[in-house]
Amino acid sequence: MTEQATEKLCRKCERLLPIEQFRRERRKDGTYYYSSPCKDCYAFQQASWYARNKAKQREKRREMARQWRATHPGYHKLRKKPSQVDPEKRRAAQRRYRDKHRDEINAKSRAYYAANRETVLQQKRASKIRRAYKRQMKGKQS
């Protein structure tokens, strides 16, 4: 019976590290071995490769997504809930929820307002200014 090693030498940084610092990989025959670069060196190697090939990889992922969507038309519609497909049903469900939980919603709103009064007032002021600016710009276009 072979004895299990507890340490291994990293081939990249040449440090002697505990075996847990190496990735466990599987061979085709189903047996396992520990990779030669440690997890830190492997992560650095992967990150630097990705940085060098970022544009190419992004385009490759986009092309794969395009191909998948072409071979699976309408899949996203199957994954959606009926309330997401039909906006009227969604609004009705939201209305029912608000009617049923009105007291809870109001209590949470009051608690949030009490805890964040200044922030809420600043947001309201900013929103009021934005609306006034939009009305002013709309009037200039006419």
What integer pLDDT is reported at residue 5 of this predicted model? 80
Is the pLDDT at 88 greater than 60, yes or no?
yes
pTM of the model: 0.46
The residue length of the chain stands at 142
What integer pLDDT is reported at residue 20 of this predicted model? 92
Average pLDDT over residues 62-76: 89
Helical axes 102-115 vs 117-141, angle rounded to 10°: 100
